[in-house]
């Protein structure tokens, strides 16, 4: 057992925790067990790097994802310093299958692509994965369905559909749903070959020829006189709803940074076929109906809502669930308190589990914790100093990235122990 | 009736890109057309320096600051040349006709976009300290700083990337013009056409280029930054998106001889008919032939430099700056049509100049 789950809400200044009823019961505790450890054997007589190298390579870097089939994909570096993505399956009782290879640096994919770098990727509940793969000749979106060989969806200069004539700069982060709807950002050109800047594209159910442009550069943000200038991180839900982060510029000034060079960022929520709404906007954009602030971190969609981190200053961030502020983070007394009483300095974006549960990794004066929120209060499920199979957790490296929780509330995370070893942990609610 | 013998009218003989008509000749009118001038020197613009982004965010126990700036030098020349043969006649009733043949034109834009890109990433670590006097206090300690700065020929790098990807961009390096301008590489974007007066009654040039690329991987000095970020799952990108499109449409509007002006009325094939000229007895031959043209320019251009830094799916900072190109005219709106402007050629005003070294695509 790592930690008992206490249903105390977060205290601290400005916590704003909702204590309304109708909450989802949280597990009493989480049992953590290692799915893969540094130094573990990989296929083809290889092994995961045992410890961080002098060159800065780390055994597990790039995140870990799991789905409802209890299938896990994780990024790791092998003993030769090559980075790749590997797979492992586990049973409900925690029994773990051998690690399998998925894709790594130096692989030659069926389309001839020599892999140089692999993006974070996305795993859905059908065991389909997508990665943006970098090679000498640019970037391609590669797709594998349930263990089948990778196939190229498109490269960054393909004419994917009449509305989607790509023109370079494919962003590494993409969104994928269980029905193979894909959301991605790439430069594009129009029918007359003019470079149109960046576009946010929706590829429905694997039908590339029906890819449509949802939002494009220079398009006005709804309800404003601000034109979109760049796109950042995006996420798509199962019914076509999406979140997109980016920067914009007032039409009058054309400037998309403030006087200090800070990007004039926005966060918008939309649904395919509908006009989006702006949730958060930098004050200089003058979109008063939106929450005022910057959004640099990835927004997260859940079955019943959305969450995001708003920056209100260089050291200050706030967690919002829908339109409600839940946590503050910052120096001194600004930060909210965790259930264990630690003051929150900063936090990563949250991730949603089943039934409205939300998980978030926070960084505190005592270390770091993964918190769970059930609509009523927070509980701490793993923190620095907790013991997992006799080893003391020193650092949680990736606590709550996208796809790290499945519908059974099982979660995967990367930790480093006080001994210097690192491992991918599976958390099973008990 | 005056006979117009076969005469070659041209901005230079042979045609070159040092002498021609500016695309935006200032202050012209039908009665005050612009004659060929030197266009190859151009008007190099000043340097513009822009911050693409400068952002500090808290990330775990760390604070990351990313700064990207770019400076741009643009401008060279902007014009077109034109040449054709004419022969015909003027009549005592004030009408005239000209048969135009062997017409050709080259038009384009020469520009240099030298860009200085500076990228700095600084990571500071949060330090928690305790003293009985002040209690717990937070401070930031520099964890690591990486930066790279380089001056690059933006167009050259972009073209290399695009050609590697099989995208053909009609830009060529202009050695002679670079020597003339004296600094930086100058790239030419041209369109040429011929035999259009007879078939269409006008001459249209359509220079255009669209480029979009992530160029950082092609710049060695950024290799360390890219590989360093790669180790921790980060991605950094930067590159231009360029659109330069300016269709130029040239029409013949007036014939002027030593006897007076004739206005264009109709066209039949390569023969242009004029009226409104002097009525009376004319000499047997015409010695002075001037043809006045009008041209309009539809112009759409944009140069945008973008940069982004992202880490896992946790954060993304991106930004872009749009850079004005000095094209010799104050264009504040994209996608507009300018003109008409008026230019003229006459049979006694040709200037012979040395042909510049132009490598055509």
Examine the pLDDT at A258 and tell me if it is beyond 50: yes
What's the pLDDT at B77? 59
Which ranges of chain B have pLDDT less than 50? 41-46, 178-182, 328-334, 350-361
Q: Average pLDDT of A325-354?
A: 92
Please state which of the ranges A187-191, A281-285, B238-242 shows the lowest mean pLDDT. B238-242
* Of A94 and B147, more confident: A94
Residue linked to tokens 């609610």: A429
Residue A190 DSSP SS3: coil
Distance (Å) of CA B78 to CA A121, B131, B326: 47, 68, 10
Q: Average pLDDT of A70-85?
A: 93
In chain B, the largest separation of any two C-alpha atoms, in whole Å, equals 113
What's the pLDDT at A391? 94
Beta bridge partners of A1: none
Examine the pLDDT at A340 and tell me if it is beyond 80: yes
From the CA atom positions of chain A, what is the Rg in Å?
21
Rounded Cα distance between A57 and A82, Å, is: 9
Phi, psi angle pair for B234, to nearest 5°? -95, 160
A235 touches A401 (CB < 8 A): no
Q: Are A195 and B164 an interchain contact pair (Cβ–Cβ within 8 Å)?
A: no
Tokens, residue A428 = 């099973």
User: Into how many domains does chain A fold?
Assistant: 1
Q: Are A173 and B313 an interchain contact pair (Cβ–Cβ within 8 Å)?
A: yes
Please state which of the ranges A101-105, A227-231, B118-122 shows the lowest mean pLDDT. B118-122
What's the pLDDT at A359? 95
Residue of A76, A195, A343 to mutate, testing the B interface (most B Cβ within 10 Å of its Cβ): A195
Residue of A75, A135, A159, A263 to mutate, testing the B interface (most B Cβ within 10 Å of its Cβ): A263
A200 touches A185 (CB < 8 A): yes
> If you ran DSSP here, which 8-state letter would residue A58 be given?
-
By C-alpha distance, the chain B residue nearest A53 is B231
What's the pLDDT at B43? 41
What's the pLDDT at A9? 29
Q: Is B361 exposed, middle or buried (0-12, 13-18, 19+ CB in 10 A)?
A: exposed
Whole-structure pTM value: 0.80
* B304 contacts in chain A (CB < 8 Å): 197
Tokens, residue A325 = 């502020």
Examine the pLDDT at A325 and tell me if it is beyond 50: yes
What's the pLDDT at A94? 86
What's the pLDDT at A320? 96
Partner residue facing A261 (CB), from B60, B63, B67: B67
* B312 contacts in chain A (CB < 8 Å): 62-63, 120, 398, 401
Q: Average pLDDT of A36-41?
A: 93
Mean pLDDT over the full length of chain A = 88
Q: How far is A397 from chain B (nearest CA, A)?
A: 9
Examine the pLDDT at A369 and tell me if it is beyond 70: yes
pLDDT band at A132 (very low <50, low <70, confident <90, very high): very high
Q: Are A172 and B126 an interchain contact pair (Cβ–Cβ within 8 Å)?
A: no
Q: Are B53 and A261 an interchain contact pair (Cβ–Cβ within 8 Å)?
A: yes
Host domain of residue A178: 3-429
Q: Average pLDDT of A377-392?
A: 93
Q: Average pLDDT of A381-390?
A: 93
Give which of A281, A276, A285 is closest to A256, Cα–Cα. A285
* B55 contacts in chain A (CB < 8 Å): 261-263, 296
Going from N- to C-terminal start, the domains of chain B cover: 2-46+76-116+153-346
Question: Can you give chain B as a three-state secondary structure string?
Answer: CEEEEEEEEECECCCCCCEEEECCCCCCECCECECCEECCCCCCCCEEEEEEEEEEEEECCEEEEEEEEEEEECCCEEEEEEEEEEEEEECCCCCEEEEEEEEEEEEEEEECCEEEEEEEEEEEEEEEEEECCCEEEEEEEEEEEEEEEEEEEHHHHHHHHHHHCCCCCCEEECHHHHHHHCCCCCEEEEEEEECCHHHHCEEEECCEEEEECCCHHHCHHHHHHHHHHHHCCEEEEEEEEEEEECCEEEEEEEEEECCEEEEEEEEECCEEEEECCCCCCCCCECCCEEEEEEEEEEEEEEEEEEEEEEECCCEEEEEEEEECCCCCCCCCCCCEEEEEEEEEEECCCCECCCCCCCCCC
- CATH number of the domain that A27 lies in? 2.130.10.150
Rounded Cα distance between A291 and B79, Å, is: 50
Rounded Cα distance between B100 and B84, Å, is: 7
């Amino acid at each position: 057992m790592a930690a008992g789950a206490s249903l105390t809400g977060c205290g601290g200044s400005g916590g704003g925790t909702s204590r309304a009823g109708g909450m989802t019961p949280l597990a009493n505790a989480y049992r953590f067990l290692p799915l893969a450890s540094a130094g573990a054997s990989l296929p083809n007589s290889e092994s995961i790097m045992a410890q961080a190298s002098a060159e800065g390579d780390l055994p597990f870097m790039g995140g870990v994802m799991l789905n409802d089939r209890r299938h896990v994909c994780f990024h790791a570096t092998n003993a030769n310093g090559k980075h790749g993505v590997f797979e492992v399956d586990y049973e409900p009782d925690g029994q773990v299958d051998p690690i399998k290879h998925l894709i790594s640096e130096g692989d030659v994919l069926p389309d001839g692509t020599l892999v140089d770098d692999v993006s974070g990727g996305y795993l859905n509940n059908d065991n389909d994965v997508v990665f943006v793969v970098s090679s000498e000749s640019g970037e391609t979106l590669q797709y594998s369905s349930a263990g089948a060989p990778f196939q190229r969806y498109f490269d960054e200069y393909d004419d994917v559909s009449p509305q989607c004539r790509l023109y370079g700069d494919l962003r590494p982060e993409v969104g994928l749903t269980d029905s193979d709807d894909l959301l991605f950002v790439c430069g594009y050109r129009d029918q007359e070959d003019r470079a149109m800047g960046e576009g946010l594209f929706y590829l429905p159910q694997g039908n590339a020829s029906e890819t449509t442009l949802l939002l494009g550069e220079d398009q006005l943000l709804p309800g404003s006189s601000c034109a979109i200038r760049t796109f950042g991180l995006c996420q798509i839900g199962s019914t076509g709803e999406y979140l997109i982060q980016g920067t914009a510029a007032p039409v009058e000034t054309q400037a998309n940074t403030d006087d200090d060079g800070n990007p004039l960022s926005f966060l918008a929520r939309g649904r395919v076929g509908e006009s989006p709404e702006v949730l958060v906007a930098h004050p200089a954009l003058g979109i008063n109906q939106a929450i005022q602030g910057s959004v640099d971190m990835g927004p997260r969609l859940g079955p019943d809502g959305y969450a995001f981190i708003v920056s209100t200053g260089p050291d200050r961030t706030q967690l919002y669930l829908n339109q409600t502020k839940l946590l503050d983070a910052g120096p001194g007394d600004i930060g909210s308190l965790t259930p264990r009483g630690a003051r929150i300095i900063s936090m990563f974006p949250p991730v949603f589990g089943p039934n409205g549960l939300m998980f978030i990794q926070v960084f505190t004066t005592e270390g770091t914790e993964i918190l769970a929120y059930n609509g009523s209060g927070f509980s701490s499920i793993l923190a620095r100093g907790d013991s997992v199979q006799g080893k003391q957790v020193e650092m949680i490296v990736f606590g709550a990235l996208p796809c790290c929780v499945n519908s059974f509330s099982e979660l995967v995370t990367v930790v480093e122990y006080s001994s210097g070893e690192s491992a991918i942990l599976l958390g099973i609610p008990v | 009736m005056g006979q117009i013998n076969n005469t070659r009218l041209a901005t230079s003989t042979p045609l070159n890109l040092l002498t021609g008509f500016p695309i935006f000749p200032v202050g012209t009118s039908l009665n005050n057309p612009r004659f060929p001038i030197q266009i190859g020197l151009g008007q190099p613009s000043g340097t513009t320096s822009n911050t693409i982004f400068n952002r500090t965010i808290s990330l775990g126990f760390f604070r990351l600051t990313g700064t990207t700036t770019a400076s741009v030098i643009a401008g060279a020349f902007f014009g077109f040349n034109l040449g054709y043969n004419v022969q015909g006649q003027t009549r005592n009733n004030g009408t005239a006709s000209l048969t135009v043949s062997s017409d050709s034109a080259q038009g384009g834009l020469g520009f240099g976009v030298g860009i200085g890109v500076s990228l700095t990433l600084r990571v500071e670590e949060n330090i928690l300290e305790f003293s009985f006097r002040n209690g717990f206090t937070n401070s930031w300690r520099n964890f690591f700083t990486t930066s790279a700065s380089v001056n690059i020929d933006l167009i050259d790098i972009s073209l290399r990337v695009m050609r590697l990807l099989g995208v053909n961009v009609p830009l060529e390096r202009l050695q002679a013009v670079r020597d003339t301008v004296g600094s930086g590489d100058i790239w030419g974007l041209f369109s040429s056409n011929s035999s259009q007066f007879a078939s269409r009654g006008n001459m249209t040039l359509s220079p255009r280029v669209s480029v979009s690329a992530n160029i950082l991987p092609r710049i060695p000095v950024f290799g360390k930054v890219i590989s360093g970020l790669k180790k921790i799952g980060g991605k950094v990108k930067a590159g231009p998106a360029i659109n330069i499109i300016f269709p130029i449409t040239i029409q013949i509007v007036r014939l002027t001889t030593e006897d007076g002006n004739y206005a264009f009325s109709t066209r039949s094939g390569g023969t242009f008919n004029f009226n409104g000229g002097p009525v009376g007895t004319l000499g047997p031959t015409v010695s002075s032939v001037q043809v006045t043209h009008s041209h309009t320019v539809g112009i759409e251009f944009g140069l945008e430099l973008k940069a982004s830094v992202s880490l896992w799916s946790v954060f993304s900072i991106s930004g872009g700056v749009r850079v004005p190109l000095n094209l010799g005219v104050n264009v504040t709106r994209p996608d507009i049509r300018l003109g008409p402007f008026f230019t003229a050629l006459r049979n006694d005003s040709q200037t012979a100049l040395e042909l510049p070294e132009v490598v055509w695509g």
